[in-house]
Amino acid sequence: MIRPINPADPGLAPRLLDVQHRAYAVEAALIGFDGIPPLQEDLAGLMASTEHWLGCFEDDQLVAAVAYEFPDHETVDITRLVVDPAYARRGHARALLDALDDLEPRGVSLVSTGTANTPAVNLYLGRGYRETEQVEVGPGVRITKFRRERVL
């Protein structure tokens, strides 16, 4: 089940933070860089998030989430996409992106991920995103930015 969630919810926030830390630890290992800001975020920082969120639940347990913002009226910027590694490879990330497309149909969608995070890169390319640029964020560490345009 996918539904909007509030990171300020004290009953949900600790689990969301755990999923986020576990997911970004996997990405950190893939890209060889543990300086990913959400990996360092604490509970107070997460609870202060102003992003919009959708959560994916299995048996009332949060297993994945997507956070997003609206930089303008036609764009959705996906700022975080996290899946608990214990629930990986079950289609949760794709389901969250589908739900976001349905809930917030926008002509432009933006997202970025570590260039060496092959599973995420393949997810975005498979959903029609195209690479727009790569940015070096540390010695030997690159982030790839993606953009998808849709006619609505």
Q: pLDDT for 64-85, tens place per residue? A: 999 999 999 999 999 999 999 9
What's the DSSP call for residue 8?
T
Higher pLDDT: 17 or 27? It is 17
Evaluate if residue 34 carries a pLDDT over 90: no
Domains of the chain, first to last: 2-149 (3.40.630.30)
Residue 37 near residue 24 (C-beta atoms within 8 A): no
- Say how many Å lie between the first and final Cα of the chain, rounded: 25
What confidence tens digit (pLDDT) does each residue in 39-72 have?
Answer: 789 999 999 999 999 999 999 999 999 999 999 9
Res 14: pLDDT = 97
Cα distance between residue 146 and residue 41, in whole Å: 24
Q: Report phi then psi at 102, rounded to 5.
A: -70, -40
Whether 36 has a pLDDT exceeding 90, the answer reads no
Asked whether 47 and 13 are in contact (CB, 8 A), the reply is yes
- Please state, in angstroms and rounded to a whole number, the distance separating the CA atoms of residues 105 and 89: 25
Which amino acid type is present at position 142? R
pTM: 0.93
Q: Which residues pair with 61 in a beta bridge?
A: 58
